[in-house]
Structure 1
Amino acid sequence: MYLLYVMGAILLGSTISRLLLGVPFNWALEMSQFILSAYYLLGGAYTMQLGGHVRMDLFYSRLAARKRAVTDAITVLFVIFYLVVLLGGGVSSTNYAIVYGQQNYSAWAPVLWPIKVIMTFGVFMLLLQCISSFFKDVAAARGRPIA
């Protein structure tokens, strides 16, 4: 949550520097993008744990609790598949960035491996939370909910 304050301070400092001193920070936009990426990828698993994700609710609320659990167990399998593919790509991309010292093509040219490590870790944590949700949904569908 505090990353948003860091991002705001970077953007505010860049704006003040550009307006008052006429010297913009050439790294501010990229750094704020990196911070925002870390914020939402690391927060995804925590938000899922708290049940804070938004659902498209046309028929879901009308279902009985066990049918909702079956629906959730089926749909989370698609999310798990997606996250496994995304994690594979993230590990590959992170490995490439570390081995070859990949840098962004900009005036600042930061190395990309730190943000790629954070992003891959966030995807991994979300995958673990989805697996946990799957087992909780299966247990609820069987009539034995897990706390």
Structure 2
Amino acid sequence: MINKTTYNAPKPPGNAVVALIDNINLGVGRTLAWLTLLMVLLVALVVLMRTFFGVGSIALQESVTYLHATVLMLCLGYNLQQGGHVRVDVFYGRLPAVRKAWVNALGSVVFLLPFALFLVFASINFVTKSWAIGETSADPGGLPVVYLLKTLIPLSGILLALQAVSEIFRSLIKITWQHNTASPENNHQL
């Protein structure tokens, strides 16, 4: 019998990669979550300024849009890592863990990673042109940094691609490492 308090099971290969990528997206997600509070405060400020003072601010309204875009785009990888993505699990929910890992690995390789890389490469020219002209808001009084907003597109693709790699490694670890271990004590949660 193995004493669980003293036995240190060997770590599966790739576990460090999974942990590193997960920590990156976890840090991004937790940090950017605070922007939602800032968005609420800015919307309240816009409403108060219009209602009580009859004053509007295009820059303030656009800043809410920029913050929303930042949270939405840069937290795609975080959302995936947290399991918050939409999944049609009519069959998936009934599968054993190893088969779920196969579905996750194949889905990440065939659909998720290509989509994330497409997002990066398809947007590079778009973002480069925006930076080259120093694109600004089309609205008078708007924010002069549209190129920064557009930069979120390839960044979100990079973070999503990283998380896809993490999901692939996590699934492969589950398929190969945990599935092939004989002892239940070696089945560690990733």
Name the TM tier (shorter chain): 0.7 to 0.9
SS in 2 for 1:2: helix
Deviation digits for residues 3-44 of structure 1, max 9, x if unmatched? 011111211111111111111112233211110110122222
Aligned residues: 147
State how 1:9-20 maps to structure 2 within 5 Å: 9-20=41-52
Is 1:101 matched up with 2:134?
yes
SS in 1 for 2:65: helix
Matching residue within 62, 72, 84 for 1:30 = 62
Is 1:129 matched up with 2:163?
yes
Matching residue within 116, 122, 140 for 2:150 = 116
8 Å contact from structure 2 (residues 120, 153) kept in 1: no
What is the one-letter code of the residue matched to 2:161?
Answer: L
Is 1:73 matched up with 2:105?
yes
RMSD of aligned alpha carbons: 1.9
User: Which has the greater radius of gyration?
Assistant: 2
* Runs of 5+ unmatched residues, structure 2: 1-32, 180-188
Q: Which runs of 4+ in 1 moved over 4 A?
A: none
State how 1:18-57 maps to structure 2 within 5 Å: 18-57=50-89
TM-score, scaled to structure 2:
0.70
What is the one-letter code of the residue matched to 1:82?
Answer: F
2-structure distance, mates of 1:102, 1:89: 19
2-structure distance, mates of 1:5, 1:22: 24
* Runs of 5+ unmatched residues, structure 1: none
